[in-house]
Structure 1
Amino acid sequence: MAGAFIQVNLKGQTELVATLNQLMKNGGDLSPALSQIGEYLLESHHARFQLEVAPDGTPWEPLAPETLKRKKGEDRILQDKGYLRDLLSYEASINQLLFGSNLEYAATHQFGREEDGIVQREFLGFTTGPWNDGDEMLAILQDHLQAS
């Protein structure tokens, strides 16, 4: 998947790692659970686009005055035509979930590009705190484990 995607290292996430290990031991094929997580992540990311916040809840950097002028007053951030938000996708296999965007400029916005004056507006990642993506993903995996 070209563009921008997230890779998760589960070190320190003992409950999630234990659940994944149990799933692989019992069933081997995690694709149903990973597809469900992919759908959940689409919803979670779309909600953050509405709020215009990074996964940690930090508001995205406001648009520069010259950008606002070019956009003729449209002030939605990273949503000019909605492609970045609407073309997020995932690929689930028996033991892997890829989530992100195949748009080339996705990485530019995720990480910023200082030499061109484009600030970082992180949009890919897992939310923590009261609205915790990890809790939801764990619940999905546990449901799958119980059904196995």
Structure 2
Amino acid sequence: MAVNVVIEWDDAQALASIRRAIDAIGDPARVLGNIGPQLVNSTKDRFTTETDPDGLPWEALKPRYARAKARKYPGQGILRRENRLYESIVSQVDGDTLLVGTNVTNKGFPYSASMQLGAPSRNVPARPFLGVSAEDRNDIQAIVMDYLRNAVAGD
């Protein structure tokens, strides 16, 4: 006894999914726009934990400065005097480039760069707040995968 099995498959839906994935990959600005706010939040979290992107604690304030700061700005942590630096952290997408950072200066002094990199001439230690942590990399991967899944599904 012979049995014939015929399977018909309309590949239009699969092709449409592939086209959506290709379109999504071809326009990285959309997914970068999703990643930017996550990195801004992560960067701002470092001001609370007072740690660099690798999780290492920032160097403590010098005792004399810490006392003066506590009197003038009670409860404000390292790099958080008037919160200008913290509040200035932004993301910007330009085509296939995502920028996360700040442009805060203080009377012409490159304040944000000096806090990030240190300023030996002013005895300011580096307290890196910008960068991508291991957790950030995992978050970025999850955002990209969600973005691609949604693109394939047509969401």
What TM-score do you get using the length of structure 2 for normalisation? 0.72
- 2:118 aligned to 107, 112, 122, which one? 112
Mapping 1:1-148, distance limit 5 Å:
27-73=25-71, 74=74, 76-103=77-104, 104-128=110-134, 132-148=135-151
* Deviations 1:66-85 (CA, angstroms, capped at 9, x unpaired): 32233144461000011111
Where do 5+ consecutive residues of structure 1 fail to align?
1-22
* Deviations 1:90-142 (CA, angstroms, capped at 9, x unpaired): 111331101101113110010001111000101111122xxx11011011112
- Summarize the Cα distance change of 1:98–1:24 in structure 2 as closer, same or farther, 3 Å threshold: farther
The Cα of 1:86 is off from its aligned counterpart by 1.1
User: Rg larger in 1 or in 2?
Assistant: 2
Backbone CA RMSD of aligned residues: 1.9
In terms of fraction of residues, the more helix-rich structure is 2
More contact order relative to length (CA 8 Å, sep ≥ 6): 1
The Cα of 1:24 is off from its aligned counterpart by 7.1
Q: Partner letter of residue 94 of structure 2? A: S
CA distance in structure 1 between the aligned counterparts of 2:53 and 2:85, rounded to whole angstroms: 16
Residue in 1 aligned with 2:10? none
- Summarize the Cα distance change of 1:136–1:123 in structure 2 as closer, same or farther, 3 Å threshold: same
Conservation of the 8 A alpha-carbon contact between 1:63 and 1:77: yes
The Cα of 1:57 is off from its aligned counterpart by 0.7
What TM-score do you get using the length of structure 1 for normalisation? 0.75
Where do 5+ consecutive residues of structure 2 fail to align?
1-20, 105-109
* Deviations 1:5-44 (CA, angstroms, capped at 9, x unpaired): xxxxxxxxxxxxxxxxxx7775421122111111001111
Conservation of the 8 A alpha-carbon contact between 1:34 and 1:93: no
Moved over 4 A (4+): 23-26
CA distance in structure 1 between the aligned counterparts of 2:141 and 2:127, rounded to whole angstroms: 27
Conservation of the 8 A alpha-carbon contact between 1:30 and 1:93: no
Residue in 1 aligned with 2:5? none
Conservation of the 8 A alpha-carbon contact between 1:24 and 1:30: no
- Summarize the Cα distance change of 1:88–1:26 in structure 2 as closer, same or farther, 3 Å threshold: closer
